[in-house]
Structure 1
Amino acid sequence: MVSFFSRRIIAYILDFFVVSAVMWILAFLLSLVFSPLDINYVYGAFPYIAPILGFVYFVFLEKTKGATIGKAIMYLEVRSRNGAHINWPQAIVRNLTKIYWIPILFDWLIGRFMNTDRLFGKITKTVVVNMA
C-alpha cells in the first residue's frame, strides 16, 4: 500500500505532466501563428507562461472539481477543514506556492516543523483528504 504522502507526490508529478502536455500543445498552436523563424520567441516565453498556467490549473480544478487530474487519479480531494468544498480565496492562496516549484518545498518544510501538512494549508484551513 502506498502511503498518503507518496500518493500526493505521485499526484503532483501527474499534474506536472498534464500542465507540460498543455504547454506543448500551446507551443505547437503558437508556432502555427508565428513563423518558424520566430519559434524561439514562443519557447522564450515558457518561463513566464508555465507558472501562470500551472497556477490557473491548480486553482481552477481544486475550486470547481475539488481535485486536480493527478489528485483525482490518486483518489485525493481538497476540502476545507470543516469538510466543505473550498472557496476561491482558499484555492488561490493555497496554490500560490505552485507558481514556481521552489516555494512549495519551503511551504512543505515549514509545515513539517509546525506539525501540519503545509503552511499554506494551515493558513487557508484546507486539507487534502483520502477519497478511496
Structure 2
Amino acid sequence: MASVFTRRVGAYIIDFFVVSAFMWIVSYLLSLVVNPADSYEIYHFFPYVVPVLIMVYFVLCEKLEGASVGKSLMYLKVVSNNGNYISWPQAIVRNLTKIYWIPIVFDWAVGKMLKTDRFLNTISKTTVIDELK
C-alpha cells in the first residue's frame, strides 16, 4: 500500500479536480447573472470565486465529514490531536494555505523543517490519520 504522504498527494490532486469542476460551474452561473451577453467574461470571475470555493469546500468537508472527497477516496481522515472531530476554527486554520493551491508547498516545507507534517496542522492541533489501520 502507498504511504500516507503519497495518498495525501493523490487526495490533493483529486480535490483539485473536484474544486475545479465546481469553480467552472459557479463562475459560469455568475457570468450569466452579471453579464449574460459576453460569455468570455467568465474568466474575470475566477480570482474571486476560486478562493471562496476552495475554503468552503475544504472547511465544510473536513468539519462535517472529517475528510474531503480526495481524502475519502484515499482512506484518510482529519482529526483533532485528541482524536475527536475537528472544530470550525481548526478546519479554517488548517486550510488557509489552500486558498490558491501554491502556498501549501510552503506550509509543507516549513512543517518539514520543524519536523512536523504541516505547519498549519501544528497550529490547528490536527492530524491526518490512515483509516486503513
Hey, what does 1:120 align to over in structure 2? 120
Hey, what does 1:95 align to over in structure 2? 95
* Structure 1 unaligned regions, length at least 5: none
Determine the C-alpha separation between the residues in 1 that align with 2:54 and 2:31: 21
Question: Does the CA contact (< 8 Å) of 2:28 and 2:42 recur in 1?
Answer: no
Q: Which amino acid in the other structure matches residue 129 of structure 2?
A: V
Determine the C-alpha separation between the residues in 2 that align with 1:28 and 1:45: 9
The secondary structure found in structure 2 opposite 1:67 is: coil
Structure-2-length-normalised TM-score: 0.92
Fraction of identical pairs, as percent: 57
Determine the C-alpha separation between the residues in 2 that align with 1:30 and 1:115: 43
Matches within 5 A, 1:13-92: 13-33=13-33, 34-37=35-38, 39-92=39-92
Hey, what does 1:10 align to over in structure 2? 10
Deviation at 1:25, TM superposition (A): 1.7
Deviation at 1:51, TM superposition (A): 1.6
Deviation at 1:58, TM superposition (A): 0.3
The secondary structure found in structure 2 opposite 1:101 is: coil
Determine the C-alpha separation between the residues in 2 that align with 1:36 and 1:72: 40
Question: Does the CA contact (< 8 Å) of 2:27 and 2:49 recur in 1?
Answer: no
Structure-1-length-normalised TM-score: 0.93
CA RMSD of aligned residues (A): 1.3
* Structure 2 unaligned regions, length at least 5: none
Q: Say which is worse superposed, 64-73 or 43-52, in terms of deviation.
A: 43-52
Q: Could you list the per-position Cα deviations for residues 3-22 of structure 1 after superposition, in whole angstroms to 9, with x for gaps in the alignment?
A: 11010000000001000111
Question: Does the CA contact (< 8 Å) of 2:77 and 2:130 recur in 1?
Answer: yes
Hey, what does 1:111 align to over in structure 2? 111
Hey, what does 2:130 align to over in structure 1? 130
Q: Say which is worse superposed, 93-102 or 24-33, in terms of deviation.
A: 24-33
The secondary structure found in structure 1 opposite 2:85 is: coil
Q: Could you list the per-position Cα deviations for residues 56-97 of structure 1 after superposition, in whole angstroms to 9, with x for gaps in the alignment?
A: 100111001100000000000000011000000000000000
